[in-house]
Amino acid sequence: MKERDRAGSPMPDEAAYLDLDYWGSTNLFANACSSYGGRVEAKRAKLRVADLFTGAGGLSLGFAQEDFELAVAVESDPDAAATYRAVHEHLCSHGALPVKLHEQDICEVDFTQYLGRVEVVIGGPPCQPWSLGGLRRGHSDPRDGFPQFARALYEIAPRAFVLENVAGLAHGKTKPIFQLMVAVLAGELPLSELLGDQVRAGARLAYNVTWRVLNAADYGVPQNRQRLFVVGVDDGTSFSWPSPTHGPNRRHPYVPAGSVITPQGRGEPNPSIVTYATNPSTRPDPYHGQVYNGGGRPIDLPKPAPTLLASMGGNKTPWVDTLGIVPGYHAHLVSGGRPRSGQVPGARRITVAEAAAIQSFPDWVRFTGSRSSQYRQVGNAVPPDLARVVANALARSLPA
């Protein structure tokens, strides 16, 4: 980060850092060493991460697989926080250090306690597009995560950040919000543009900011999922985006949805039935259009799945055409055949476990809460395998 226009707080001394109870009995030395077959080898100390708006932890899981140590997490939803806690306990049983999980509204978290203790801040803040006017007046909508993300950066002063969001954020009616956010992150505008009088007048961030929309399928996830990533690194550091690895004319072909979904399925079945639409509207692709009830489309198993949404659960849940009805019925309609009625034979909606697999969650992850809450956590997540690719690129950008 370039020189910052802020009142510098003293760096905590090492003893204070080691005394933090959530770091448990471990310390920086333990973090910097690991045992392989009884031999202890020195490793570069991992970069500590704060994941804001963790959800179930898709983003965290990607970073945990690279050179990062999850140190701080913030999530207000009890179900998502419970899932995250279980995920992290599993990571701890495989050698990760404990994380400090703030299960509360991010507005209540004082991040100054992490100044100098966290090198990277990551997160997918919820954005409320209608709140721009309020933002500009410094009256941010409490549901808007951007000001809080910026506040965390200001208070923690990490070396880098990764902000993830919906692909459409940089366009249409949300474009002004996005531009404002990027300008604040880069220090072209003061923080007060987002936080009003919650920050000292003239206070600024100053990251080298770059952004890109990445499609998870291009990195080996069996799902077409476009997400916006904004990366900021401190002065003197440059970030290089990872090159796509999967797809036509690339090192690997796309990973098909059928690689993680079988006709018989796994996990608790979803009772929401699939019926023929009364007034079907076809598209050239049999797997598109509105041919069946609800927003959940049939999955063309030899290809990556369509984007999974947080609203899955009922009839917005994609489904598996176990009897191969879809191509024939599409041909029937296109040639002028009469719409059928009733339930589609052999159609079953994907389970939470299958949705998680499409999102590249490891199969040991257990989601907490009602079925719709679990689908929401899955649909909200950054695919861990995509997060891992971004984490890897960031680790290579940041000098030790």
The answer to whether 190 contacts ligand SAM (rule: CB under 6 A) is: no
Compute the least distance from the CB of residue 262 to ligand SAM, in Å: 25
Q: Which of 21, 25, 48 is nearest to 121 (CA)?
A: 48
Compute the least distance from the CB of residue 46 to ligand SAM, in Å: 19
Q: Report helix, strand or coil for 206.
A: coil
User: Which residue in the set 56, 169, 180, 205 belongs to the binding site for ligand SAM (CB under 6 A)?
Assistant: 56
Residue number with CB closer to ligand SAM (58 or 294):
58
Pairing of β 160-166 and β 120-123 = parallel
Q: Which of 361, 360, 378 is nearest to 369 (CA)?
A: 378
- 13 to each of 4, 88, 171, 184, 199, how far by Cα in Å? 21, 27, 44, 30, 26
Stretch that binds ligand SAM, among 13-21, 47-55, 248-256, 327-335 (CB under 6 A): 47-55
- 284 to each of 108, 281, 287, 327, how far by Cα in Å? 51, 10, 9, 11
The answer to whether 126 contacts ligand SAM (rule: CB under 6 A) is: yes
User: Which residue in the set 1, 59, 231, 261 belongs to the binding site for ligand SAM (CB under 6 A)?
Assistant: 59
What is the spatial distance between Cα 144 and Cα 199, in angstroms, rounded to a whole number? Answer: 17
The answer to whether 80 contacts ligand SAM (rule: CB under 6 A) is: yes
What is the spatial distance between Cα 302 and Cα 98, in angstroms, rounded to a whole number? Answer: 40
- β-sheet bridge partners, residue 228: 165, 213
User: Which residue in the set 381, 389, 393, 394 belongs to the binding site for ligand SAM (CB under 6 A)?
Assistant: 381
The answer to whether 187 contacts ligand SAM (rule: CB under 6 A) is: no
Which DSSP helix (H) or strand (E) runs through 386? helix 384-397
Q: How many CB atoms lie within 10 A of CB 136?
A: 15
User: Which residue in the set 227, 301, 380, 390 belongs to the binding site for ligand SAM (CB under 6 A)?
Assistant: 380
Stretch that binds ligand SAM, among 76-84, 171-179, 247-255, 276-284 (CB under 6 A): 76-84
The answer to whether 55 contacts ligand SAM (rule: CB under 6 A) is: yes
The answer to whether 76 contacts ligand SAM (rule: CB under 6 A) is: yes
The answer to whether 97 contacts ligand SAM (rule: CB under 6 A) is: no
Q: Where are the alpha helices (DSSP H) in 94-169?
A: 132-136, 145-156
Compute the least distance from the CB of residue 355 to ligand SAM, in Å: 13
The answer to whether 77 contacts ligand SAM (rule: CB under 6 A) is: yes
Q: In what order do the strands lie in the sheet with 120-123?
A: 100-102, 68-74, 47-52, 120-123, 160-166, 226-233, 208-215
Which DSSP helix (H) or strand (E) runs through 44? none
Compute the least distance from the CB of residue 79 to ligand SAM, in Å: 9
Overall size of the chain counted in residues: 400
User: Which residue in the set 58, 147, 232, 242 belongs to the binding site for ligand SAM (CB under 6 A)?
Assistant: 58
The answer to whether 352 contacts ligand SAM (rule: CB under 6 A) is: no
What is the spatial distance between Cα 290 and Cα 307, in angstroms, rounded to a whole number? Answer: 16
Tokens 């990062």 appear where?
Answer: 68
User: Which residue in the set 13, 105, 285, 363 belongs to the binding site for ligand SAM (CB under 6 A)?
Assistant: 105
**CA angle (259 as vertex; 219, 380 as ends), nearest 5:** 55
Compute the least distance from the CB of residue 89 to ligand SAM, in Å: 16
Compute the least distance from the CB of residue 255 to ligand SAM, in Å: 19
Stretch that binds ligand SAM, among 26-34, 56-64, 295-303, 323-331 (CB under 6 A): 56-64
Residue number with CB closer to ligand SAM (87 or 157):
87
Compute the least distance from the CB of residue 316 to ligand SAM, in Å: 17
Where on the chain is the footprint of ligand SAM (CB under 6 A)?
Answer: 53-59, 74-77, 80, 105-106, 124, 126, 145, 380-382
